[in-house]
Amino acid sequence: MAEFNREAYSERERSAASMKTLLRKQELVNSYKERLQRSNGFVVFFNFQGIDAYPLTLLRLDIKDLKGEIVVGKNTLFYRAFSDTALSDHRDIFIGPTAALFAYEDPVAVTKKLVEFLKETFDKEWEGRIKGGLLDYKYISPEQVKELAELPSKEELIAKLLGVMMAPVTQLAMTLKAVPQKLVLVLKAIEEEKSKGGQ
């Protein structure tokens, strides 16, 4: 009977574990690429250090309600996933604790929510938390991310557009409503004149 070789067995175990780890890392890289594609090339990276788990969970839920997603990951895997984009020249984004914000519908709304959260959480130090990102697969700096957060959201723009479109209709309705009212007032005045003249 052959003797059990513990070293050979351990080596095979390590090799299998290593292969599982590599496969898991590749799955993560692929999932980041898929998220970027689903978000039409939009992602914002930010430093989440100092944010407790509970507030971060609440932020994630708020972002999810806005059809977005926050993913915390390893910088090496983020870089590997986005190295074939405009971020390849901005490796400094992938230093320190990093989270990625994806928007699947309205990038402005999710960016606004992130900036509001960072302002509330870090007060004056919030600006250094935003690292940059991509918009339509083009690099955007931290300053451009802040500018994006100041734009009106899709819902706000639609409301303004409807207001502009409805103003002439409302004005016409008011004018049409005023004509019979004025006619009634004139007829009433004539009736009062006749009743005064008849007495």
Angstrom distance (rounded) from CA 115 to CA 92: 20
First to last CA, the chain: 136
| Domain match, 135 and 46 both | yes
**What is the per-residue pLDDT for 151?**
85
Does this model's pTM top 0.85? My answer is no
Q: Which residue has the higher pLDDT, 170 or 128?
A: 128
| Domain match, 132 and 199 both | no
| Domain match, 195 and 131 both | no
Which bin fits 37, alpha (ψ -120 to 50), beta or left (φ > 0)?
alpha
**What is the per-residue pLDDT for 14?**
77
| Domain match, 62 and 127 both | yes
Which pLDDT band, with edges at 50, 70 and 90, does 71 fall under?
A: very high
Contact 71, 28 (CB under 8 A): no
Angstrom distance (rounded) from CA 113 to CA 110: 5
**What is the per-residue pLDDT for 176?**
65
Domain count, the chain: 2
List the structure tokens of 114: 């992130």
